[in-house]
Structure 1
Amino acid sequence: MLSDPSQKYLPYPDVPPFTRTWPAKRVTKAPIWLSTCLRDGNQALVNPMSNAVKLDFFRTLVACGFKEIEVAYPAASDAEFNFCRTLVETGEIPDDVAIQVITPCRAELIERSVAAVTGAKHAIIHLYNAVSPLFRDVVFRNSPDETADLVVRSVKLVKKLTAAARASTGTKFTLNYCMETFSQTEPEFAVRLANEVLEAWGDATPESKVIFNLAATVECAPPNHYADMVEYFCQNVNQRDSVLVSLHAHNDRGTGVAATELGLLAGGDRVEGCLLGNGERTGNVDLVTLALNMYSQGVSPRLDFSNLSEVVKVVESCTGLSVPDRYPYAGQLVFSAFAGTHQDAIRKGLEKQEKRHARAAETGEKKYWAVPYIPVDPQDLGYSYDNLIRISSQSGKAGAAHLLSQSSLALELPRSMQTAFYGVVQAACDASGKELTMESLLSLFRSTYHLGRGVEFNGRLRLDSFECFPSNARYTRCRVGADLLVDGHVRRIDGEADTPIAALLDALDRHVNLRFGVREQHVQELRSHRFAAFVELAEHSPQATLAKSRGWWGVGMSADVTAAKLRAVISAVNGSVGSKALPPPKLVFRARFEAAVDARLDTPDMHAGAPPEPLPQTHVSTPVVSQF
């Protein structure tokens, strides 16, 4: 690269002085859309589409709502000509759709192009020639006057041929004159050409407008410069009310969408482009991005991309081109967040929006979409929310927690537990070097907290069954007796305290020499009258307070809240014991209870100060086989 590129490259020229108004405007309605996927997009393919493939693509464009479609360059080959005739003669063109064909300013090619579409209900003749100084001097070696004379003669020929075809078949014809390389043409000369075209055509009215296509054939200046050129043209062209200003931007500088959006502010009425931006060099402007940019601002684009993934499949299949994962709106990952801060913001946004929408439903207000990082509701485009948050080593605690809340478990983890479990998630991602799917995340959660059936979910301790009953006549304390599997062997343990959790911890201290205190506990009511309990235990240590000791979280689930809590305690204990040696079982004598209760009964919650229904001379026995 040159240290001083000004020695080799010229800057873009200025636009003549005029009153600029476009910066203060906003787009408030959709333009007329013209898809040129089957012509401009097709000619840019390494392997152009067959007519059968083009027909499939045409049907997709119609289904998306396009009312103007450029279908071919009929003078280029018999295949292109025959495609036009197939559309006309087989009734493929809906009555409200106009087909457009392109032709250069050459008499024999104009004649073949008009013949290709004669018989259609509405056809647009796209007449073009390159008019910039570079092309006039280098390619055609024409003066400005010679260029203008060529255009006028061609327009008069189109008028003559289309008048005859209209008289014989009733086809409505519209003239679309394209100043190719408009973006490199003197604005004054572009206006001169347009005014001479209007005079030569002679039939332009507000009801039957002439289209002027202002093509940024090569994007050679920033978007604001293109907007200036468009507005200068709009202010100076004759019969503005009888003219449709069409924008045809390319993407050489990577700003084709921006140039078109600013061009619409500057007076553009119509947009030519391709789905997903296919086209020569860096491509035509992307109509999907343009339309959905409008949609995200509450402006109906009058195009239907409510099943965008299927549209993407059609485009990829027909063109042989793949859509990048990060392509705006259409890429597979554009509605996915891996970064922890992004995930946290999205999760909070969805939660707050759900509450806001619930209030709006009660008051009749509009349910506006407002979620950080996600400007458009993915469901509007046919996507689910399943892909919003993806878990990798770069994710945060909120991402894993959100997926668990949306999973079949539907668990809302306490914040400090989110942090603890994310350490497990990050270690797993680092070890595999890959992201975690929903399935693998659930498996990791279940194995970490021993939720589920199977050897992979078993901990060293398992609560087989338990009894919870009052230990005195005033019901201020309770006793817990349990069958506890320790390394596969059943032990009978019992404890007494103010609450069932404390009584179970007392039993673990007495019989297994495990001393814990409860640092935090939460209960979540699930669907179908089930409960999830989250308990964080910390070791009782003479060297540290309970708050400063190491903690372990556990999870328990049951139709009974007490059972869920006790399971959560055992889950947390399993996380702490590791390979620690546990003491052998103690030999104790225990009297047989006189009144046994059906083992399938649920256990009432035994909170101190909130006595259950009186259970004199009885107890409750609950089997605990599995969390599921």
Structure 2
Amino acid sequence: MPMLTHPAIKYRPYIDVPFPKGYVRQWPTKRTTEAPIWLSTDLRDGNQALVNPMNNATKLEFFKLLVQIGFKQIEVAYPSASELEYQFVRSLIENNEIPDDVSIQIITPAREDLLTKSIASLAGAKHAIIHLYNAVSPVFREVVFRNTKEQTIELTLNAIRITKKLTEEETARSGTKFTLNYCLETFSQTEPEFAVELANRVLEEWGKATPEDKVYFNLAATVECAPSNHYADMVEYFSMNVNQRDSVVLSIHPHNDRGTGVAAAEHGLLAGGTRIEGCLLGNGERTGNVDLITLALNLYTQGVSPGLEFSDLPKVVEIVSRCYDYTVPIRYPYAGALVFSAFAGTHQDAIKKGLDAQEKRWKEVDRTGEGTKYWAMPYIPLDPKDIGYGYENLIRVSSQSGKAGTAYVVKQTMLFDMPRRMQVSFYGVIQNACEKTGKEMTTTLITETFKQTYGLSSKPMGRLHLQSCQIMLMSPSSLSDSSDGSDGGSILKFEAQIVCDSRSRAITGEGKDVIEAVMDALRSDLDFDLSLGENFDQTLSADNMPQPKHATFLELFQSGSQPSKSGLGSTWGTGVSSDPAIAKARAVISAANGLAGDRKFPRAKMVYTPRRELLRTSSDIWRDVVLRTGHSVPHTPDREINVYSLGTST
């Protein structure tokens, strides 16, 4: 049957709340500034909704988890429903499983025979709450019970009389203190005036509600049939009209049929509620009860301590999922595996910038002792570390991602803070890999691809590989401390042993700095003429590093060409070493590898090396000559050679 063109002929709108004319609602202008009383109904309301209900051993494990989280009120069973439920309550009491500051609640219908067994199950408990319920909305009164309003009131008051009598007798016998929690089942579909009338009659019949010993009224949105603002209106109307308001606790119990259970709970608190009933992860009949994890962490992100401990939320989710035999959707609020993960490029870019900015802001707070380390992050309202997650899952890379996501992973795993144009270049490599496989690029794949792309290995990974080198200052002055390896107007000489197409050979070059000298060596010995684009240096340090290292990122392109603004036509290289000069040399060779393609390199030059016999017989001739890779350079007072750095093992 198709959907109706005019559904109003079949479905009735929700009822109006009869506020006086001119009444101004109070709840829309309020804020929640303190945590409510939390009641977990996982062991009863949640359990009845499971395909395979929990056995008592599993329920005990769940009960201990709830205590550990910090719940002070826990609904544990429906003792009149089965012997198994009855025995679970008894085992908690008799085995001293209930901490002194925790109250247990049981649920019972408003029937004398069921009330007797339910209250008997609580004998010996320090504090017990009786959840007495009956449905009071028109559809239940008229269809299910076939009762009038008056008959509904009398049925309820009779149950209150019996409950009062039985609890007083049990208190005298075992010392158990009882609190009444009367539930107006289907409150959200009940006429507001009738709900208030019934509650006031219950208060009168109970006769002993005080500010120190309050009665709870459970305002159950048993079926969520209206917007959350309507539920708040009903709660506020009830709150404004119920008698003995200072002796009453309004307990909010939303369901999630419209998908707004959490919103209804939040609005209900603003409207006068001070107690919340629900389940972890929102388990329950149909679409579930209100999710207490989501609600608690919503408060937490607004600076309100919920009084519940979710510092290891992944562990909580694991236990709850196992006990429920339940799978949590990956995008479920706070608890889902991917709620803190971004795949989209624009999201990743914003998150990366936010993390960088926050790191600087927090360091400034540490440095000056002024200000607050507040959390302000695009797309992420809660610091994942507060609930047991790390940052490693914040950004995950697929073909839908962008340069920022890839750059974030590289920075987190390898500490490299790539310059922007290099980010664009490397993301092109990652995107091609993603599109070939059609799958996510994991952190491991990204880091391995980075190493392969830029030749970060002690073994040759491309056509060119730097084995060892010497960098000498061709000047009478001493070495400069300049981080870029330059010495003003001095000339550096670079001599290296490289692997070129699997064969070892020597190259030599000169320049004003290390980068220029290495490029000169490539030009003179390999006929490989390159030009320098952008270049950046970074110091790498971490707790597990014995000493800082230096990284160089530089861009090269074929001489005579001009790369585009986006970097098309150029290639980047990366070099790392404890010596900044060697890091630069490695970066040049790394970038040259990316431009080598299938070009043909000339053969190694023939280098004259004098025979040892000649050196022995002509020592006077060679007395002032030092041999470097076959080149002879006479020592003269104004041309002294200083070794800048030896080897590339670091």
TM category (shorter chain) comes to over 0.9
The aligned residue for residue 618 of structure 2 is none
The number of equivalent residue pairs is 606
Distance change in 2, residues 1:249/1:549 (3 Å): closer
Give 2:180's match in structure 1, choosing from 169, 175, 183: 175
The aligned residue for residue 131 of structure 1 is 136
Q: Separation in 2 of the partners of 1:115 and 1:396?
A: 64
The aligned residue for residue 461 of structure 2 is 458
Distance change in 2, residues 1:157/1:595 (3 Å): farther
Per the TM alignment, residue 318 of structure 1 is displaced from its structure 2 partner at its CA by 0.5
Contact 1:595–1:618, Cα closer than 8 Å, also in 2:
no
After TM superposition, the structure 1 = structure 2 runs for residues 35-114 of structure 1, keeping only pairs within 5 Å, are: 35-114=40-119
Contact 2:351–2:379, Cα closer than 8 Å, also in 1:
yes
Contact 1:123–1:172, Cα closer than 8 Å, also in 2:
yes
Per the TM alignment, residue 583 of structure 1 is displaced from its structure 2 partner at its CA by 2.1
Q: Separation in 2 of the partners of 1:378 and 1:357?
A: 17
Per the TM alignment, residue 453 of structure 1 is displaced from its structure 2 partner at its CA by 3.9
Q: Separation in 1 of the partners of 2:88 and 2:517?
A: 83
Query: Which amino acid in structure 1 is aligned with residue 398 of structure 2?
Result: S
Q: Separation in 1 of the partners of 2:439 and 2:8?
A: 47
The aligned residue for residue 508 of structure 1 is 522
TM-score, length-normalised on structure 2? Answer: 0.90
- The DSSP-based 3-state class of the residue aligned with 1:619 is strand
Q: Separation in 2 of the partners of 1:417 and 1:572?
A: 11
Instruction: Kindly indicate whether residue 400 of structure 2 is the aligned counterpart of residue 405 of structure 1.
Output: no
Instruction: Kindly indicate whether residue 226 of structure 2 is the aligned counterpart of residue 207 of structure 1.
Output: no
After TM superposition, the structure 1 = structure 2 runs for residues 417-428 of structure 1, keeping only pairs within 5 Å, are: 417-428=422-433
Q: What are the Cα deviations for residues 591-620 of structure 1, in whole angstroms up to 9, with x where unaligned?
A: 7995589xxxxxxxxxxxxxxxx9934535
Q: Separation in 2 of the partners of 1:383 and 1:295?
A: 16
Q: Separation in 1 of the partners of 2:250 and 2:564?
A: 75
The aligned residue for residue 594 of structure 2 is 575
- The DSSP-based 3-state class of the residue aligned with 2:121 is helix
Unmatched tracts of structure 2, length 5 or more: 478-488, 542-546, 611-621, 629-637
Give 1:12's match in structure 2, choosing from 6, 11, 14: 14
Distance change in 2, residues 1:204/1:594 (3 Å): farther
Query: Which amino acid in structure 2 is aligned with residue 246 of structure 1?
Result: S
Contact 1:596–1:619, Cα closer than 8 Å, also in 2:
no
Contact 1:38–1:72, Cα closer than 8 Å, also in 2:
yes
Q: Separation in 2 of the partners of 1:519 and 1:590?
A: 38
Q: Separation in 1 of the partners of 2:559 and 2:627?
A: 35
The aligned residue for residue 608 of structure 1 is none
Per the TM alignment, residue 7 of structure 1 is displaced from its structure 2 partner at its CA by 1.1
The aligned residue for residue 369 of structure 2 is 363
Per the TM alignment, residue 472 of structure 1 is displaced from its structure 2 partner at its CA by 5.0
Q: What are the Cα deviations for residues 118-145 of structure 1, in whole angstroms up to 9, with x where unaligned?
A: 2100000000000000000000000000
Farther-moved stretch of structure 1 (15-24 vs 309-318): 15-24
The aligned residue for residue 609 of structure 1 is none
Contact 2:473–2:644, Cα closer than 8 Å, also in 1:
no
Q: Separation in 1 of the partners of 2:157 and 2:568?
A: 89
After TM superposition, the structure 1 = structure 2 runs for residues 342-353 of structure 1, keeping only pairs within 5 Å, are: 342-353=347-358
Per the TM alignment, residue 248 of structure 1 is displaced from its structure 2 partner at its CA by 0.6
Farther-moved stretch of structure 1 (228-237 vs 5-14): 5-14
- Coordinate RMSD, CA, aligned: 1.8
Farther-moved stretch of structure 1 (360-369 vs 425-434): 360-369
Distance change in 2, residues 1:540/1:84 (3 Å): same
Give 1:275's match in structure 2, choosing from 275, 280, 285: 280
Contact 1:531–1:558, Cα closer than 8 Å, also in 2:
yes
Contact 2:47–2:54, Cα closer than 8 Å, also in 1:
yes
Farther-moved stretch of structure 1 (88-97 vs 463-472): 463-472
Per the TM alignment, residue 471 of structure 1 is displaced from its structure 2 partner at its CA by 3.5
The aligned residue for residue 602 of structure 1 is none
Per the TM alignment, residue 473 of structure 1 is displaced from its structure 2 partner at its CA by 4.7
- The DSSP-based 3-state class of the residue aligned with 1:466 is strand
Q: Separation in 1 of the partners of 2:463 and 2:169?
A: 92
The aligned residue for residue 440 of structure 1 is 445
Contact 1:37–1:274, Cα closer than 8 Å, also in 2:
yes
Give % identity: 56
Q: Separation in 2 of the partners of 1:615 and 1:419?
A: 45
Q: What are the Cα deviations for residues 544-588 of structure 1, in whole angstroms up to 9, with x where unaligned?
A: 589888211000011111111011000000011122222222224
Q: Separation in 2 of the partners of 1:138 and 1:546?
A: 76
Q: Separation in 1 of the partners of 2:370 and 2:536?
A: 35
Contact 2:187–2:220, Cα closer than 8 Å, also in 1:
yes
After TM superposition, the structure 1 = structure 2 runs for residues 181-196 of structure 1, keeping only pairs within 5 Å, are: 181-196=186-201
Instruction: Kindly indicate whether residue 500 of structure 2 is the aligned counterpart of residue 469 of structure 1.
Output: no
TM-score, length-normalised on structure 1? Answer: 0.94
Distance change in 2, residues 1:224/1:617 (3 Å): closer
The aligned residue for residue 604 of structure 1 is none
Unmatched tracts of structure 1, length 5 or more: 598-613
Give 1:532's match in structure 2, choosing from 535, 551, 562: 551
Contact 1:517–1:546, Cα closer than 8 Å, also in 2:
no
